[in-house]
Structure 1
């Protein structure tokens, strides 16, 4: 089922998400719904808070960027209870957007490489290292689990310039091809 995307201004996007266990209610269905929702909305990643659930889970499919980074050819992963344990390398800026903040893209500076621990959809534990675009997307989605949005990384002047647009988005003044949920 395609779930509605939670839009900027909704309090669930600012909560620190909770860890889950493999007995989480209807977990397999929720994982399937996350994939379906992300693909329907043309996203590269989607975190559970973006569909209204404050749990530590996100999905990624970076395979569409394999032309620039061949190691992303089959990069499709589910991250449950993820924890970034290290951020290294030079920080670099790249334009980012977010399904929860439609119509806004801004340069965000992030670490070049990360180390992360997580469980996959089969509850197998992984400790892995990523760099480049994969590291960037993981950091973006991971931020959602801590109540952080990409606009929080913008410089103070840029944040002030975005304030009006963000307020409009929180009131539903945007266009999106997907279903969404606003704060009440």
Structure 2
């Protein structure tokens, strides 16, 4: 449908709690248009995922998935997935740190600790359940996108605080792989 502008860090709408999508709205033309706009905007900006609040829609809707992504050249493929009203459950106590970036925080990357393995559950556009157990980069992307639904951006979670920098400088220092 349309490539939408992505809100950037500092826009107060990114810090709002998103509302649950009511059951009657799932297959509506408005919801279908939102999903199309999320998909198109994510693809146009080489994103691994995108949450509705990032385009100014305060609803609990995320989309994610990659085959190959120049921003994350070493990342394995993730099937494109739409989640409405998602929930995340950690599977175990293990957490791992990994470098993240965000379309709403362009040019910066930070090391963020996340659950290593999770179960996510939500609904698709038809209202059917989507449930998966995932690990690694897939789990990281889902947690990152779902954070947006609660007004949390990755710089809020960077540990240690010194592990935040501009992508160009981090690549130049050999901390991040060269984007391909």
Following TM superposition, by how much is the alpha carbon of 1:23 offset from its aligned partner in structure 2, in angstroms? 3.6
| Change over 3 Å in CA distance of 1:5–1:69 after alignment to 2 | closer
Q: Which runs of 5+ in 2 are unaligned?
A: 167-180
Contact 2:68 2:75 in 1 (8 A): no
Distance 1:157 1:29 in 2: 38
* 1:80 to 2:90 alignment: no
Q: 1:59 aligns with which of 55, 59, 63?
A: 63
| Change over 3 Å in CA distance of 1:79–1:132 after alignment to 2 | same
Aligned to 1:175: none
Contact 1:38 1:44 in 2 (8 A): yes
Aligned to 2:108: 104
Aligned to 1:34: 38
| Change over 3 Å in CA distance of 1:10–1:87 after alignment to 2 | farther
Larger % of helix: which? Answer: 1
Counterpart secondary structure, 2:127: coil
Aligned to 2:120: 116
Aligned to 2:11: 10
Counterpart secondary structure, 1:102: coil
TM-score of the aligned structures, taking structure 2 as reference length: 0.79
**In the TM superposition, what whole-angstrom CA distance separates every residue of 1:25-73 from its partner, at most 9, and x where no partner exists?**
61101111110000001101000010001110010013227x9676x3x
| Change over 3 Å in CA distance of 1:95–1:27 after alignment to 2 | same
Instruction: Identify which of structures 1 and 2 has the higher relative contact order when contacts are C-alpha pairs closer than 8 Å and 6+ apart.
Output: 1
Distance 1:157 1:37 in 2: 30
Aligned to 2:147: 143
TM-score of the aligned structures, taking structure 1 as reference length: 0.78
Distance 1:57 1:77 in 2: 11
